[in-house]
Amino acid sequence: MRPGRSSVTPLGRRYSAPSYAVDMPQRFALMITPVDAADARDDYSDTFTPMDVEAPALSVGEFSTQRGDGVFESIGVIDGHANEVEAHVRRLAHSAEICDLPAPNLEQWRQAVATAARLVPAGEAVVKLILSRGVEHGPAPTAWATASRAPDFTAVRRDGVRVVTLDRGYDLDAAQRAPWLLLGAKTLSYAVNMAALREAHRRGADDAVFVTPDGHVLEAPTASLILRIGDEFVTPAPAGGILHGTTQLSVYEHLESRGFRTRYATLTASELTTADAAWLVSSIRLAVAITAVDGAPLASDPALTAEMNAFLRSPR
């Protein structure tokens, strides 16, 4: 079955999502037949087709695998409840716009998330949304969602991570000056991000923070960065060609409810190393404290980290 082609199940019936249960399979795949953004209806279930996760599903001409030509989102799920769905589907649409992909129908994608989230076991899980440019000389665009149990991040949330700073090779103005670099879009082309993590491991660290050639901090390969400077929390401004983090927005919501000041700013690497505390935040791993930068210890706040994660694991 090629992504984006609707069909019936092997039993000859259209798929209808069952009620949530804990004895469901550990992984699930749902093919999505994308509809026009202006196609308004109450129910998009006839555009979803369940797939056997062990069976072939993609055409050899699929641009997502040939060129990484597509966008995606990863959404955290707690006991069947998907968090930050609206922020994720809107960021998917923003990434699609940057990449000149057809605008996704947001309600269709919301319903796809809800369908997939009901099909994962109890506990923490992840739903991934993929929108590809399509198949060469075939259907375009193509789309699908997957759902699976999330890795156990208990230890890293408790112990934190050591990071190294790595030069991204682009300055803060690169996104505006060269939009074809697709900076700020969450594309499927993650080879550079994975190479950065491997380099961090070679240097004896757990993760990395990208910096510009002139020393401004940006983001991690798979997470947003938040610094605590006094009683103020600061994150790099997304205008620098970085993703506007959905989890960072949620953390800011929680901190502001506690009376803390939050802001966006252009930050330097020296501000990272002298911060009172710092975190990497993402949808699946949630909040992890940075305990060292380029080998130098950094103060952390275990109580606040635990509080952040308790909030991030709550339904939102």
Q: Domain residue spans in the chain?
A: 27-149, 154-312
Could you tell me what percent of the chain has a pLDDT over 70?
A: 92
Measured between alpha carbons, how far is 51 from 255 in angstroms, rounded to an integer? 41
> Of the candidates 87, 15, 22, 23, which has an alpha carbon nearest to the alpha carbon of residue 51?
15
- Picking from 91, 88, 64, 63, the residue whose alpha carbon sits closest to that of residue 74 is 88
Q: In 3D, which of 86, 150, 115 has the Cα closest to residue 15?
A: 115
Q: In what order do the strands lie in the sheet with 81-82?
A: 48-51, 27-32, 142-149, 124-132, 70-78, 81-82
How confident is residue 25, by pLDDT bands cut at 50, 70 and 90? low
Q: Shortest CA distance to 280 belongs to which of 206, 194, 191? A: 206
Residues 163-195: pLDDT tens digits?
Answer: 999 999 999 999 999 999 999 999 999 999 999
Pairing state between β 261-265 and 232-236: parallel
Average predicted confidence (pLDDT) for the chain = 91
Beta partners for 161? 290
Per-residue pLDDT band for 240 (boundaries 50, 70, 90) equals: confident
Candidates 101, 48, 47, 49; CA nearest to 71 is 101
According to the CATH classification, is domain 27-149 in 3.30.470.10? yes
Report the top-level CATH class of 154-312.
Answer: alpha beta
Model confidence pLDDT, tens digit, residues 194-226: 999 999 999 999 999 999 999 999 999 999 999
What's the rounded mean pLDDT across residues 10-38?
A: 63
pLDDT for 18 equals: 39
% of the chain surpassing 90 pLDDT:
82
